Structure 1
Amino acid sequence: MRRYERNMTTLSLSENESLKNFKVCVVGCGGLGGYLIEMLGRLGIGSITAVDGDYFDETNLNRQLLSDVASLGVSKAMKAQERMGHVNPFIKIHPVTQRLTHENAVEILQGHHLVMDALDNIPSRVTVQNVAEDLGVPMVHGAIAGWYGQVTTILPGDRTLDLIYPAESVKGIEQTLGNPSFTPALVASIQVSEALKILIGRGELLRKKILYINLLDNEFETIDL
């Protein structure tokens, strides 16, 4: 299919064709999540579950790819489905218009090959880590705050978020540093590259380490955990 010919030779023909068989869950359809869904869909990931119980408001317009003036008040998960219908109608988008909680996490996450963390609070991230571990599903974590971002890949049993966030943490520093337009796109692109490496089984992962990004000073540092 000509749609994917520019994936070559980054991917082999067999790798490219295999992507349609994968099912990825993106938890959060805001700043990070919109870009994650966009890039995964353009790559050709066959099935994407888009999870978000929120609706677009005016504060989202500065950074969230799926948001526009006409979408204010619209479900983020449903807009993800609509957007991908225009971008790549061969991709199946399953919108989940509820917040992921401890009570519904197993039902939402089971059956996926990979989970992408695009959340904005630490307890929900930890819930995703715990349930993904129980289900044996890898997870790619990303977070943004102002000029800064971070990415790590978490395989079942790694418990990496326990090393990143202090116990009882609720919100990260994005509450004080804000979120501009450029960090979500950058961090999401690195998350998608990690996701692709997991799915095709090739390349070095950010496993048991974290990539810390400081765009203000142009610093990219990989830290062993």
Structure 2
Amino acid sequence: MNERYERQEMLPEIGKEGQQKLRNARITVVGAGGLGCPVLLYLTAVGVGHITIIDDDAVSLHNLQRQILYTEEDIYKPKAEVAAGRLSALNNEVEVHPVCERLCEANASRLIGRVDLIIDCTDNLPARKVIDACAARIGVPWLYGSIGGWQGQCSLMNCGSEPKRYADLLLDEAPLMPAPAVLGALSGMVGAMQVAEAVKYLAGLSEEQLLTGKLWWMDLKTLRSGIFRF
């Protein structure tokens, strides 16, 4: 048992076999902001072997309230490159590839590459539609995540016996649109949920135990949370 991951390998659903699956996994994370920071930290900590970060933005002062990979010294520096350096320092067993480009329809397949899972940490509808179309084209699942105000959401798309597309969610209930106001801690909670879902999927847990065709939501102000099917 690898000492670094021993507490994780003690989980019967993961064990040594599941940990090896994480080590072999390739994940592309789109966005290294509020959701991207906790997602990237936890993916690295749990031992996902190959991580690509796509983000063309630079660190700003107002990011530091919730984007926990960065410091004041990083202002004006490219987020993807700064994040990659921090992640490598956390776990040198993980291969991290920063991409300082904006994802669009024209470059999506090239930037995302051959992966096992895409994680959406963006903050806009057009980017999610690009991710959804690319995931369907290359045949891989993607994890939707969104935060705004006190509320957050998460779902696993393009996965399972009846794969769901982003349009299915749009038709059933309008997904949460990011708001200018957001509680910093919410980023961590929803980001952690995305990583937990990624680990479950990569380790091979059953479809019933995954957010396939289901939207998980939470409201930190009212302390309400739930799951609805779509």
Q: Same fold (TM over 0.5)?
A: yes
Report what 2:193 is aligned to.
190
Structure 1 position 175 matched with structure 2 position 179: yes
Identify the match of residue 133 of structure 1 among 136, 143, 151.
136
- For normalisation by structure 2, the TM-score amounts to 0.91
Deviations 1:87-130 (A, max 9, x none): 00110000000011111001012310000000010011011011
User: 1:101-112 alignment to 2 at 5 Å?
Assistant: 101-112=104-115
Q: Aligned-residue CA RMSD in angstroms?
A: 1.7
Name the amino acid aligned to 2:9. M
* Counterpart Cα distance in 1 of 2:220 and 2:200: 24
Alignment-derived partner of residue 224 in structure 2: 219
Could you list the structure 1 runs, at least 4 aligned residues long, displaced by more than 4 angstroms after superposition: none
Counterpart of 1:7 in structure 2 is 8
Identity of aligned residues (%): 29
Q: Is the 8 A contact 2:148 2:177 kept in 1?
A: yes
1:148: how far off? Answer: 0.2
**Number of aligned pairs?**
221
Partners in 1 of 2:61 and 2:31 — Cα distance? 17
Aligned-partner Cα distance in 2 for 1:214–1:22: 32
2:124 touches 2:178 (CA, 8 Å); kept in 1?
no
CA–CA distance in 2 between the matches of 1:32 and 1:187? 7
In structure 1, the partner of 2:67 is 64
Q: Mapping of 1:1-225 within 5 angstroms?
A: 1-10=2-11, 11-155=14-158, 158-165=163-170, 173-176=177-180, 178-203=181-206, 204-225=209-230
In structure 2, the residue corresponding to 1:95 is in which secondary structure?
strand
SS at 1:54 equivalent: coil
Runs of 5+ consecutive residues of structure 1 not aligned to the other structure: none
CA distance in 1, matches of 2:34, 2:54: 13
SS at match of 2:28: strand
AA at the equivalent of 2:138: L
State how far apart, in whole Å, the 2-side matches of 1:18 and 1:201 are: 9
**In structure 1, what is the Cα distance between the partners aligned to 2:18 and 2:104?**
34
Query: Deviation at 1:17?
Result: 2.2
Cα distance in structure 1, aligned partners of 2:6 and 2:100: 34
Q: Is the 8 A contact 2:26 2:48 kept in 1?
A: yes
Query: What is the Cα deviation at residue 160 of structure 1?
Result: 3.4
Paired residue secondary structure (2:146): strand
Structure 1 position 172, deviation (Å): 5.5
- Aligned partners of 1:163 and 1:58: how far apart in 2? 37
**2:50 corresponds to which letter in structure 1?**
S
SS in 2 for 1:174: coil
Unaligned runs of 5+ in 2: none
